[in-house]
Each structure stands twice: as C-alpha cells, then as structure tokens.
C-alpha cells in the first residue's frame, strides 16, 4: 500500500477533540462500502491501516497500491492523509486503490540497503525468547554490514529504564544510535538519515519485539515506499505465538506480500548483499567466512549457526 502524500488540506488536530485516552468514532470507507468504527485517541497511519484490514481485508486486492485519504470539510472532498496525521476528532477516511501495480521485491544491493537494529537492550534479555540466539545472529548481520559498507541505524527503547544495547552487539560504525519512546523506529532523525542516503530502496530489519516494534516499523517503512526484509532468525518476542503471528499472518505480511519479505535465515540477508570484492558466504557447517577476490580467507568469525 502506498504512503500518504505530502500534507494538503487540514492539519493534524483541531476541532472538537475527544478526551485523551478515549475512543474516537471514524467512518472507514472502501469501494462502495462505509463502515463506522472507533480508534484510540491519537491513532496514526498504522492503526488506520490495521483497522481497514480488519474491516475489509477479504476484499482488498493485495497486488495493488493504495492511498489513505481524509475527508476535508474545508474542501468538501477527500484529500491525501496529511503526513503525521493523528486522529483526535470524529472523521471519515477512505482507502483508494491506485491504477499501478505494486512492484515486486528486488535483490538487496549494498548501495541501496540500510540495516535497522531495533531495541536489542539489556533489560529484554531475560524476557525475550531465544534472546541469546538473536544476539548471535545480530552480531553476524552487523559484521556483514561493516564489511559491505551498509549503513546501520540502531534504536533503543527508553534506554534510561531499559538499558543500552547489549554489549555483545558491536555498534562500531553505526550511522545512528537513537533513543525512542514510541514503537516504530521511524523517527524524524531516521527519516532525515534515510533522505541523506542516495537511492536507498531496501531495509533489512531485525531486533525485538516482532509483533510490536518490528511490525510497526515495517508498516511505516513500506508505507513510505521502501522494501522491507525481516530476518526471521534475528527477531523474537516474549511470546512465541506473538512472534509467529506477526511473521506469518500479521498485517505486514497480509497487506504487503510483494513489498515485504521474511528472510528465513540471516545468511540469506547477507548473501543477497554480496559484492565481488567482498564475498560473504556460509559453509555447510554454518560459520561465516570472509574471502577476498584472491580466495584467501581472512580470520573467520566462528559464530554458531542457529
């Protein structure tokens, strides 16, 4: 589904707002249908998308791009959803299919790829299933990113309370390491950093938790026209059921089957970003090796395969 266009029409907010923390009535329109529902006060683009899915999921053509529009009283017609829009008053929105087909995922290339490492923090260690394993996989991903010159963006959820990124994760050379207090990694600083990278097309995403921060980040990135590759063995949740549903039947996979991909193993993500001068590959016993053009092996990283 396509991202909302640049702001036009009314700004986010204003009017007779609902009480903070309450529910706001919204009319969700799609095709010839119009169904009233409610969303939490302050709901943004991602929650609107999820609501459209719950109301019309079986009628949406997943091979099309869409745009979310808001009915603007000022213009007496629908306008593209303003950037940063938050629901704080009664409103009417619609999901509009565009006439272009959604492009399929391409191969990853170092020059157009960014790695996102999400909230791999110390306080999550005892709570997240297989946290030690995803740390190990995350190490290999970041090692591959350094070797291939791929920018890395790292976030930490409320580090004052949840601690910094675990010491095992080497953040040497990371483009950004940012604190956050919302679920998604798509902060203003992150958007600015992405805008500075010419030709960026793909994001390799990993970290915790799969069904919350990873899913919300994927939704926002795809909504902005980027391809998202989630590394399945580098993401987890406190509940394995939450993880499974987020990866296999969640809104990311269902809404964006051609702009969203789950890399089943870390090696697939690294192999997809190969370049001739630095061949990254995995032997049959599962160790990451780095070879030069001449085939001489440098010091291999003896990281156990999951």
Q: Which sequence positions are flagged as catalytic?
A: 119, 180, 213
Q: Residue 293 corresponds to which tokens in the numbers above?
A: 């053009």
Q: Report the distance separating Cα 183 and Cα 212, nearest Å.
A: 7
Residue 176 sits at φ, ψ, to 5 deg, of: -145, 140
3-state secondary structure of 244: helix
Q: List the one residue out of 5, 47, 6 whose CA is nearest residue 26.
A: 47
Indicate if the alpha-carbon torsion angle 122, 125, 126, 128 is positive or negative: positive
DSSP states of 176-194 as a string?
EEEEESSS-S--HHHHHHH
The residues facing 43 across adjacent strands are 87
């Amino acid at each position: 589904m396509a991202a909302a266009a640049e702001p036009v029409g009314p700004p986010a907010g204003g009017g007779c707002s609902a009480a903070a923390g309450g529910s706001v009535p919204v009319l969700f329109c799609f095709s010839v249908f119009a169904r009233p529902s409610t969303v939490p006060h302050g709901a943004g683009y991602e929650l609107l998308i999820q609501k459209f899915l719950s109301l019309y999921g079986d009628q949406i053509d997943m091979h099309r791009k869409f745009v979310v529009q808001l009915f603007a009283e000022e213009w007496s017609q629908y306008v593209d959803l303003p950037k940063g829009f938050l629901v704080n008053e009664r409103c009417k929105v619609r999901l509009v299919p565009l006439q272009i087909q959604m492009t399929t995922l391409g191969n990853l290339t170092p020059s157009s790829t960014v790695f996102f490492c999400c909230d791999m923090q110390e306080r999550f260690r005892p709570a997240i299933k297989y946290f030690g394993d995803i740390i190990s996989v995350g190490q290999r991903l970041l090692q591959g990113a350094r070797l291939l010159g791929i920018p890395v963006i790292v976030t930490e959820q409320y580090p004052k309370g949840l601690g910094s990124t675990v010491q095992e994760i080497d953040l040497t050379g990371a483009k950004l390491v940012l604190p956050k207090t919302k679920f998604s990694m798509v902060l203003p600083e992150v958007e600015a950093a992405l805008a500075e990278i010419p030709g960026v097309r793909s994001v390799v995403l990993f970290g915790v938790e799969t069904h919350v921060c990873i899913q919300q980040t994927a939704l926002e990135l795809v909504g902005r026209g980027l391809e998202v590759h989630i590394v399945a063995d580098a993401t987890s949740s406190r509940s394995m059921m939450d993880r499974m549903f987020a990866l296999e039947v969640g809104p990311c996979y269902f809404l964006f089957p051609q702009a969203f991909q789950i890399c089943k193993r870390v090696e697939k993500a690294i192999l997809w970003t190969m370049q001739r001068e630095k061949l990254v590959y995995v032997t049959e016993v599962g160790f990451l090796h780095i070879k030069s053009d001449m085939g001489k092996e440098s010091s291999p990283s003896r990281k156990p395969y999951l």
